[in-house]
Structure 1
Amino acid sequence: MFTRAQVRRILQRVPGKQRFGIYRFLPFFFVLGGTMEWIMIKVRVGQETFYDVYRRKASERQYQRRLEDE
C-alpha cells in the first residue's frame, strides 16, 4: 500500500503543473475512459459483451412496458 508521501511524490512528478494545474491529469483519465469503452465493446465474457447485455435488457424492459400498456 502506498503512503500519503509516496502518492504525493508520484503526483508531483507528473509534468505540467505550472501551465495546466490540476488539469494535467486529464489526458490520463481520457485514455482510461477510452480503454474502458473499448473493453466494454470488444471483450467478451462468455458469449456476450457489455453492450449485448445492455441491448437485451433494454429490449426486455420495452417488451414488459408494452405488455403492461395493453
Structure 2
Amino acid sequence: MRKARHSGIISTIFDKWPGRRIFGLYRYMPFFFLLGAALEFSMINWTVGETNFYRVYKKNQVEKEARSIIEKEKLVLNKV
C-alpha cells in the first residue's frame, strides 16, 4: 500500500510542474540538465582521499592504451 502512496505524491508533483500545455513531456528537460551538470561538477571536484572519478578514468585509459601497445609489439616480434 505504501508504494501506491508514493506514486501518488510523485504524480502530483509531476502534474503541478509548469509548462505542460506548451512543452509536454519536454518540460522536465531543464531539471535533468541541471541534475546532470551537478553530477558532472561533483565528479570533477569531489575528491575522496586523493582520487576522484577523472583520475581513475585517466588511469584506466592509460593502462588500456599501454596494454594495446604491448600487444602490438608482441605481434610484430612474433612475425620477425
Alignment of 1:1-70 (within 5 A): 2-70=5-73
State the one-letter code of the partner of 1:69.
K
Aligned-residue Cα RMSD (Å) equals 1.2
Output the amino acid matched with 2:19. G
% identity of equivalent residues: 36
Query: What TM-score do you get using the length of structure 1 for normalisation?
Result: 0.91
Higher helix share: 2
Structure 1 segments unaligned to the other structure (5+ residues): none
Q: What's the CA shift string for 1:7-51, capped at 9, x where partnerless?
A: 211111101111111111000000000001001110001111101
CA distance in 1, matches of 2:6, 2:47: 36
Alpha-carbon separation, structure 1, partners of 2:63 and 2:25: 43
**Count of aligned positions:** 70
4+ residue runs over 6 A deviation: none
Equivalent position SS for 2:49: coil
Unpaired stretches in structure 2, ≥5 consecutive residues = 74-80
CA distance in 1, matches of 2:45, 2:6: 36
